[in-house]
Amino acid sequence: MIIGIKDGMKLVGISIMACCAVFVCTLFMNYNMDLVSIEEQMTSPQMMIMYDALVSMGKVVSGVSGGCLLITSGIMLVFYIKNYIDTHKKELGILKALGYSNFKIAKNFWVFAISVLIGTGLGFGGAWLIMSKFYEEQNADKMLPEFEAAFHLELVIGLMLIPTIAFGVLAILYACVQLKQPTIDLLKEKRQYGKSRIKGNGKKSQRTKRAVGADREEKDVPFLKEMQKATIRSRKSLLFFVVFGAFCFSSMMQMSAGMNEIASEMMAMMIFIIGAVLACVTLVLAVTTVVKGNTKSVSMMRVFGYTFEDCKKAVLDGYRPWAYLGFVIGSGYQYGLIKMVVEIVFKDIENVPDYEFDVQIFMIVLIVFVILYEAMMFWYSNRMKKISVKEVMME
């Protein structure tokens, strides 16, 4: 079979995403479960307020970060499967032509869930490595009774086994849907890039004046702009990853720098690392796929006399506004989230300052993001320079 265990292990993006999600969820959920088991030891109203705040905080953090990362991992899995099918159309077409059913081929896609198992396993293990330190930090003021971390099997099942099985099933079902295309299309490696606007066998449809006007305007749009738009349209999932990468960077960096009054240094560091890793993984995944997917187009543009700068503009520059949009959304999100945590979770706790948007931190994170993003684009544009026109022509 063409899909092997190794293919399943190559999905580093999913593994990292799953690792981050399970790492955070394991810490907070394990802590919450242990904390709930000693509820009867909360003897004073102050202890009860602290107890409620920590339980609520655990629920919010696990729910928001775990849920957000779970959805993103799912989208990433779907993206990987579609990408795998797109790049192995011929082999899959041959299998179908030989008589393999869609399900028989699709069921081999379960191996993609291995990446989830690896990621969740690492996340779970990583969380346990710092579990005792985390428990100490959560109760640094000694307002609650001391308690040890206990192992909860239900967390292994809920955070490792169930996601792995769910992702395996999702992989099989999605592959089944994707393989429904005609065998001949797979063999000819046909890819649906878009459909023409005039339907029928060359017959002109009734077109409004507005449509004709739009056509005329479109005619005046330079080719490089058209190419930019088409590159983005052809793989919308990558747009999501670019926005998400910038969102993660913006929200988590600002969060880690701005929440020092309401959270421990350890938590701020955790958020910082997770934010940086998630942003890098998603951005690298997206941009690598964009560059690889446009190798032939870049070669042809070079043959015709377009410069490298033109090729970069056409292929990469269209994502820039979206990346900055992701950054702005991330800034708003982190402000809203911390404001909500302060106003709801810590409402009864004394000496918790009112949370305000920190313009200085925003500006610093923005400058760092601009430098990193532009450096990444510069590196990828240099990679595009290495695309050999001749190699593409010889295929």
Partner 1 sequence: MIQVKDITKSFGSKENSFQVLKGISLDIKDNDYIVLLGASGSGKSTLLNIISGLEKADSGSIMYDGTDIDKLSETELTKFRKDNVGFIFQQYYLLPNLDVEKNVKMGADLAGNKNYCEMIKAVGLGEKLHKYPHELSGGEQQRVSVARALAKKPKILFLDEPTGALDEATGRQVLDYISKLQEQYHFAVVMVTHNNNIAEMAKTVIKMNSGKIVETYTNEAPKTAYEIGW
With residues binned 3-state (H G I as helix, E B as strand, rest as coil), the percentages for the chain, rounded to 5, are 80, 0, 20
- Quick one: 191 or 292, whose CB is closer to partner 1? 191
Instruction: Report in angstroms how near the CB of residue 32 gets to partner 1 at its nearest.
Output: 48
| Nearest C-alpha neighbor of 71 from the set 157, 167, 175 | 167
The H-or-E segment that residue 87 falls in is: helix 67-87
Instruction: Report in angstroms how near the CB of residue 185 gets to partner 1 at its nearest.
Output: 9
Quick check: 167 and 127 in contact, CB under 8 A? Answer: no
Q: Which amino acid is at 195?
A: K
Instruction: Report in angstroms how near the CB of residue 304 gets to partner 1 at its nearest.
Output: 6
Kindly report the backbone phi and psi dihedral angles of residue 196, in degrees, each rounded to the nearest multiple of 5, phi listed first.
Answer: -65, 155
Residues that bind partner 1 (CB under 8 A): 190-198, 202, 204, 219, 222-224, 226-227, 230-231, 233-234, 296-297, 299-307, 389-390, 393, 395
Instruction: Report in angstroms how near the CB of residue 298 gets to partner 1 at its nearest.
Output: 10
Quick check: 65 and 21 in contact, CB under 8 A? Answer: yes
CB environment 229-248: b (16+ within 10 A), e (fewer): eebbeebeebbbbbbbbbbb
The pair of structure tokens assigned to 325 is 């949009």
Strands (DSSP E) along the chain, which ranges?
none
The H-or-E segment that residue 197 falls in is: none
At 14 the three-state DSSP class reads: helix
Q: DSSP letter for 202, please.
A: S
- Quick one: 142 or 195, whose CB is closer to partner 1? 195
Cα distance between residue 28 and residue 32, in whole Å: 6
Instruction: Report in angstroms how near the CB of residue 116 gets to partner 1 at its nearest.
Output: 31
Cα distance between residue 171 and residue 165, in whole Å: 10
Quick check: 311 and 223 in contact, CB under 8 A? Answer: no
Instruction: Report in angstroms how near the CB of residue 179 gets to partner 1 at its nearest.
Output: 19
- Quick one: 133 or 385, whose CB is closer to partner 1? 385
Instruction: Report in angstroms how near the CB of residue 130 gets to partner 1 at its nearest.
Output: 46
Instruction: Report in angstroms how near the CB of residue 379 gets to partner 1 at its nearest.
Output: 19
Instruction: Report in angstroms how near the CB of residue 313 gets to partner 1 at its nearest.
Output: 12
| Nearest C-alpha neighbor of 174 from the set 83, 281, 54, 288 | 83
